[in-house]
Amino acid sequence: MTAATRPVRVRIAPSPTGDPHVGTAYIALFNYAFARQQGGKFILRIEDTDQKRARSDSEQMIFDALRWCGLRWDEGPDVGGPYGPYRQSERSAIYREHAQVLLDKGEAYPCFCTAERLEKVRIQRAAEHISGGYDRNCRELPASEAAARVAGGEAHVVRLKVPIEGSIEFVDMARGVVSREATEFDDQVLMKSDGLPTYHLANVVDDHLMEITHVCRAEEWVSSTGKHVLLYRAFGWEPPQFIHMPLLRNPDKSKVSKRNNPTSIFYYRDIGIFPETFLNFLGTLGYSFGGDREKFTLAEMVETFSWDRVSLGGPVFDVVKMTALNEKYIHELTVEQLADRVIAWRLNRDFLVKLMPLAQKRIKRLDEVIPLTEYFFAGDLDYTPILGELKIEGVEPAAIAAALLAFVDKLDARVGWVKADLEADMKAWATEHTWKPKQAYPLIRLALTARMAAPGLGDTMEVLGKELTRRRLRRAAEAIAAP
Ligand code: GLU
């Protein structure tokens, strides 16, 4: 059976390197809709081979975020399945075996070049405008010499013997034939010197062993697909079908990045966008339901799904449009349903139990609770009335704004979200800027609450959550920097 006739198996393969990205949900949605429409399987695989970038909390966040969206996977690290393990860090032996297969077939070779040598060669070749950064120095080493050096324990990587000439072609279901010249490719590294695979090897081996029939992923991987096709060829395997989805853009057409718009799925959950709106909105960014209809359910998308309806025009991730769509969903609810949504969002016992320690000592009557804590139930705050207060005596506004953004980055890297860590981060940040707490903390308080007086900042950040905290700090920085 060819990939086109086998039962459909598709996957989403996020790397757990940070907050769950809206782009992951976007790609997951198209894979999911196709799998369900075909009666196939939708698989979640965690690509955590890059140990330096992997974050311990990120995997769970991916599970939580995709579940919040309403996308369920049939196989994955948490639900198991017949093709596991589904976490690449647990598949090292599989990759080693497969690298060995290629070595034995003469399709790959050990490379002993040091990082210093590679760097020198790269610079020299760039200066001479020679394509490819590696000179294939170890490619023609006699097999006996290479084997002896490996046996002697010499540090090495494993590289693929990429054809010296010819073209590499694959069909992208949306783009047609994509063709690249072999000369554009280096002899790519398959196994690193630490014995771990590169993304390319792990991705191809897993897609093959997991019997993936269609690889639908972001267009940033188009340029890697040629390498993957070479790997399939070297193994003697049939590649899956490919389709690369365009990257999400901001309304100004720049690539969505956390510098401009929140990119964490949780931000949209926390500001009270419904999961069905979120998926519906992502669906409109590439799926034409028919006519100019923009509001459709996941079930409707599944029922009608076909790649012919998927377009590659630059999808604009416009929060204003998403909000307008959410409004339609709100208007269609009964008041009881709406009340339930509000309860599920913030007005629930779990959230109030977290919030009450901040209010208890500050109120005498219950009618003070809501006015005292209303900024926990709001999205963006209006800084206009307090703009004059958003300052540190003797420091230029631009420097304050830059410092606030540096704090956002520090919080971005924070694993977990608990008061003690957040206070430590804030203290370290103030010290780095040589500011005393009494200079720096009022600024943070104003940014987070738009008030001069509010509960402790560690508590406030913890209860507000990572998304709103960062969003407010960033908006305060923008308000300060604006002329
Ligand atoms: N781990 C890659 C990512 O994070 C997966 C790319 C693919 O789907 O092949 O996007």
User: Which residues sit with their C-beta closer than 6 Å to ligand 1?
Assistant: 13-15, 47, 203, 217, 221
Would you state the pLDDT for residue 128? 86
What is the Cα–Cα distance from 265 to 317, expressed in whole angstroms? Answer: 12
- For ligand 1, the distance from its centroid to the CA atom of residue 340, given in whole angstroms, is 37
4, 5, 69, 9: which is closest to 35 by C-alpha?
9
- In the three-class reduction of DSSP (H, G, I as helix; E, B as strand; rest coil), residue 145 is classed as helix
Question: What is the DSSP-derived secondary structure letter of residue 376?
Answer: G
Answer for the pair 469, 374: CB distance below 8 angstroms, yes or no.
no
Answer for the pair 50, 199: CB distance below 8 angstroms, yes or no.
yes
Measured in Å, how far apart are the chain's first and last C-alpha atoms?
64
Would you state the pLDDT for residue 132? 79
What is the Cα–Cα distance from 152 to 173, expressed in whole angstroms? Answer: 47
pLDDT in tens, 205-239: 999 999 999 999 999 999 899 999 999 999 999 99
Would you state the pLDDT for residue 65? 97
The parts of the chain modelled with pLDDT lower than 70 are: 1-4, 483
Answer for the pair 85, 55: CB distance below 8 angstroms, yes or no.
no
Would you state the pLDDT for residue 143? 87
Residue 372: partners with Cβ closer than 8 Å, 6 or more residues away: 359, 362, 363
Looking at the CA of residue 217, tell me the nearest atom of ligand 1. 8
- For ligand 1, the distance from its centroid to the CA atom of residue 217, given in whole angstroms, is 7
Would you state the pLDDT for residue 151? 92
What is the Cα–Cα distance from 244 to 222, expressed in whole angstroms? Answer: 7
What is the Cα–Cα distance from 411 to 419, expressed in whole angstroms? Answer: 12
Looking at the CA of residue 14, tell me the nearest atom of ligand 1. 4
What is the Cα–Cα distance from 83 to 213, expressed in whole angstroms? Answer: 14
DSSP 78-97: TTB-TT---BGGG-HHHHHH
- For ligand 1, the distance from its centroid to the CA atom of residue 136, given in whole angstroms, is 27
Which of 47, 172, 201 has most ligand 1 atoms within 8 Å of its beta carbon, as the pocket-test mutant?
47
Question: What is the token pair recorded at 93?
Answer: 């032996």
258 has catalytic annotation: yes
Looking at the CA of residue 24, tell me the nearest atom of ligand 1. 10
Would you state the pLDDT for residue 483? 64
- For ligand 1, the distance from its centroid to the CA atom of residue 203, given in whole angstroms, is 8
The closest residue, in CA terms, to atom 10 on ligand 1 is: 14
What is the Cα–Cα distance from 171 to 307, expressed in whole angstroms? Answer: 14
**Annotated catalytic residue, options 161, 258, 410, 419:** 258
- For ligand 1, the distance from its centroid to the CA atom of residue 37, given in whole angstroms, is 23
Would you state the pLDDT for residue 260? 72
**Rounded (to 5) percent helix, strand, coil in the chain:** 50, 10, 35
Which of 203, 214, 248 has most ligand 1 atoms within 8 Å of its beta carbon, as the pocket-test mutant?
203
Would you state the pLDDT for residue 253? 85
166: exposed, middle or buried (Cβ count in 10 Å: 0-12, 13-18, 19+): exposed
Looking at the CA of residue 203, tell me the nearest atom of ligand 1. 9
pLDDT in tens, 45-61: 999 988 777 777 899 99
